[in-house]
Amino acid sequence: MKLAVIVAGALAAALVCAHPGGDIQAELAQHRAMLSRMARTDLSHCAEKIKARGLEARAIARRTELVTELLMKSGELNSRDLGSVLRKSHHSDKDYDLETPYEVIFGSNSSCVLSPEVTEGPFYVAGEYVRKDIREHLPGIGLAVDVQVHDIETCDPVPNVFVEIYHSNILGVYSGITKGDRTTWLRGFQKTDADGVVNFKTVFPGPYYPRTTHIHVIVHPHAQERSNGTILDDTASHIGQVYFDQDLIYKVENTTLYKVNKQPLVLNKDDGPFQQGAATSDPVMQYVELGDRIEDGLLAWISFGINTTLANEIKVAATMTKEGAIANDQKGFVQHEAQHSHDPISWKTIA
């Protein structure tokens, strides 16, 4: 099987209204307020320092190694020529060809931005696991995520902080958001290394109305891992979302697997939080395809800056306990129950 492994079997269809009880205008207002507290909105001033410290060279080497690992790992991807994979397909506004060197493809400066400060949305669940692989055998196109965190003022990498990501599954549904829900898929923490880097293995998110495809990213500067391997922390120095090139989203959504999701596809240009973020920075992840087909998987990466002096409170929609999710009704979130169809969906393994 490949990184884009599609688990054979049945999965109950679950479609929900995105951000039920959520208010996009409120998210935009909070975004504006957060940005007003920041002296800088991108890392363009850090380019020379990042290069001088060798961070760019190490980023290139790390991403090349990641691709090699993904290609060679038994049971996920077939071995193939690294050069042909790296130069096959990239962020659509880059004119790469067979002669493009790795240092251009994987150069960190092209994605050194501040991903926009936004709200955590109504689907944040506290108490998730520290882990690299957050797939839990869910179907979807495999996505390896490489994130690097810098101090927006000093340009230095930010080590030893926990980065959390979470996002919807291929049906546009989040885990752990209904009463008693014990699911934890597509949520997890990793601690940054000396270069401020974390890696995750996940699947490409599915869309849900009225948002464009995105991944939530939160940086927890003071979090501590608990004895059960989870983190419970409601403060953050960065609450953001990262996005994907529209052409890549189209390509994913045209696959047989993702066509199962019948929710309307909202374009980047029509998404308020995306447009507000794009007005001051570039929140779109760079990427390479890992094979001859999109189903073979992707490596995506982004570097962003945080204001380490900020301490934002995270609005917790639910807390994961051993009894399952417990809704936090005091935070103003309207809880909802997923609507499950009576007919299971049979997933075909894509070889």
Q: Is the Cβ–Cβ distance between 303 and 33 less than 8 Å?
A: no
Distance CA 257, CA 259 (A): 6
Strand partners of residue 288: 90, 299
Strand partners of residue 189: 130, 164
Cα dist from 312 to 38, 226, 239, 244, 282, whole Å: 13, 21, 8, 25, 22
Cβ atoms within 10 Å of 36's Cβ, excluding its own: 8
Give 245 or 5, the one with higher predicted confidence. 245
Instruction: Give me the mean pLDDT over the 309-337 stretch.
Output: 67
- The pTM of the full predicted model, rounded to 2 decimals, is 0.80
- pLDDT tens for 130-166 read 999 999 999 999 999 999 999 888 889 999 999 999 9
Kindly calculate the radius of gyration of the chain based on its CA atoms and give it in whole angstroms: 19
Please say if the pLDDT value at position 264 is more than 70: yes
CA dihedral (348, 214, 216, 298) positive or negative: positive
Task: Give the sheet arrangement for strand 318-321, strand by strand.
Answer: 125-126, 318-321, 324-327
Instruction: Give me the mean pLDDT over the 297-310 stretch.
Output: 88
- pLDDT tens for 115-129 read 445 656 667 888 899
User: Mean pLDDT over all residues of the chain?
Assistant: 76
Contacts of residue 31, defined as CB under 8 A and 6 or more positions apart, other chains included, come to 116, 117, 118, 119, 273, 276, 277
In the chain, how long is the greatest CA-to-CA distance?
59
Could you tell me the pLDDT band of residue 342, with boundaries at 50, 70 and 90?
Answer: very low
> Which pairing describes strands 298-306 and 286-289: parallel, antiparallel, or unpaired?
antiparallel
Distance CA 189, CA 147 (A): 12
Please say if the pLDDT value at position 203 is more than 60: yes
Highest mean pLDDT among 13-27, 79-93, 294-308, 321-335: 294-308
Instruction: Give me the mean pLDDT over the 43-58 stretch.
Output: 84
What's residue 135's pLDDT?
96
Q: Which CATH class is domain 9-333?
A: mainly beta
Cα within 13 Å of Cα(229), Cβ side: 7
What's residue 20's pLDDT?
38
- CB-based burial label for 262 (10 Å; 0-12, 13-18, 19+): exposed
Q: Is the Cβ–Cβ distance between 142 and 160 less than 8 Å?
A: no
Q: What percent of the chain has pLDDT over 90?
A: 35
Could you tell me the pLDDT band of residue 14, with boundaries at 50, 70 and 90?
Answer: very low
Could you tell me the pLDDT band of residue 47, with boundaries at 50, 70 and 90?
Answer: confident
Q: What percent of the chain has pLDDT over 70?
A: 70
- pLDDT tens for 79-120 read 456 776 776 555 656 666 667 777 878 876 656 655 445 656
Distance CA 52, CA 10 (A): 52
Could you tell me the pLDDT band of residue 331, with boundaries at 50, 70 and 90?
Answer: very low
What's residue 33's pLDDT?
52
Could you tell me the pLDDT band of residue 248, with boundaries at 50, 70 and 90?
Answer: very high
Could you tell me the pLDDT band of residue 7, with boundaries at 50, 70 and 90?
Answer: very low
Please say if the pLDDT value at position 40 is more than 70: no
